[in-house]
Amino acid sequence: MPASERAPTHFGFRTVELGAKQAMVDEIFHNVARRYDLMNDLMSGGLHRLWKDVMVTALNPPRDARPFAVIDVAGGTGDVAFRIARAGGAGTRVTVCDINADMLEVGRARAAALGLDDIVTFAAGNAESLPFADRRFDACTIAFGIRNVPRIEAALGEVFRVLRPAGRFLCLEFSTVDVPGLDALYDFYSFNVIPALGRAVAGDAEAYRYLVESIRRFPAPHAFAGMIAAAGFRRVSHRALSGGVAALHSAWRL
């Protein structure tokens, strides 16, 4: 293994080799793929549905026949992509790119059941090395996926590469609670209730414990905004949602 792959990184609260993290994350999502949207319900109290609607409203896909190509990174089950497809007009097309085959299988089945498989397509790919040409997409979305990428800077660089000039980047991620009192309640819920629910509903408390820990390890909004700007984006901003439980990050390739 190259020395760069042996560099330390975090897997939740554990320190692991950078080269090992992706396989560990893949195993988590292999185990929870068919319960992924339920998982988000448990982790957000159902609020993720409202937050995703906020993101799609911010994206504002054209409602006419103008071509509008979106890539939804790490969106294997298609939840965000389907919302974009419904919000957009006849020219809107969404490509879901995810590294996990199990997640993609769930997404393709859902697209077919919803009659959206001619609008939403699915492709296997690593966020750190997207399998698409330069400047192919008008917009990129990623919801609750960026914190699981081992090399976040590489993924942001890839998003910048595949966006056309004037392309929009929107990233929805769990964040830092900034309301006194809510922070303590949120910590109790996260570290005590969510793993127990994960054991009861999915038979996998450890997967849910990792996901809670990964939220705490993710950079604070201002620090993540700095990473986005360092990738070349402009007009970088973020908006706290539900007292900071989540944040919507926005940027443009200009």
pLDDT in tens, 118-149: 999 999 999 999 999 999 999 999 999 998 88
Q: Supply angle C-alpha 199, 79, 162, rounded to 5.
A: 120
Region label for 172, one of left (φ > 0), alpha (ψ between -120 and 50) or beta (otherwise): beta
Query: Residue 185 falls within a domain, yes or no?
Result: no
Indicate the number of domains in the chain. 1
Which amino acid is located at 171 in the chain?
A: C
**pLDDT tens across 7-45, in order?**
555 444 555 455 556 666 667 666 666 677 777 777 777
Q: Are 129 and 153 in contact (CB under 8 A)?
A: no
Give the structural domain span for 53.
29-178+208-253
The secondary structure element, H or E, covering residue 108 is helix 101-114
Separation between Cα atoms, residue 186 and residue 87, nearest integer Å: 32
- Rounded distance, CA 62 to CA 83, Å? 13
**34 within domain boundaries:** yes
CATH number at residue 137: 3.40.50.150
| CB contact set of 115 (below 8 Å; sequence gap of 6+) | none
* pLDDT for res 51: 95
Beta carbons of 53 and 248 less than 8 angstroms apart: no
- Give the max Cα distance, the chain: 51
Establish if 81 belongs to a structural domain: yes
Tell whether the torsion through CA atoms of 126, 129, 135 and 139 is positive or negative.
positive
Domain assignment present for 189? no
**In Å, what is the CA distance from 243 to each residue of 89, 144, 176, 220, 229?**
33, 17, 9, 14, 24
Task: Determine what percent of the chain is predicted with pLDDT higher than 70.
Answer: 86
Q: What is the pLDDT of residues 202-226, one digit of tens each?
A: 677 777 777 788 888 899 999 999 9
Q: Considering the domain boundaries, does residue 187 fall inside one?
A: no
- The tens digit of pLDDT for each residue in 88-110 reads 999 999 999 999 888 899 999 99
pTM higher than 0.75 for the full model? yes
Find, among 206, 219, 233, 235, the residue nearest to 174 by Cα: 219
Tell whether 60 is covered by a domain. yes
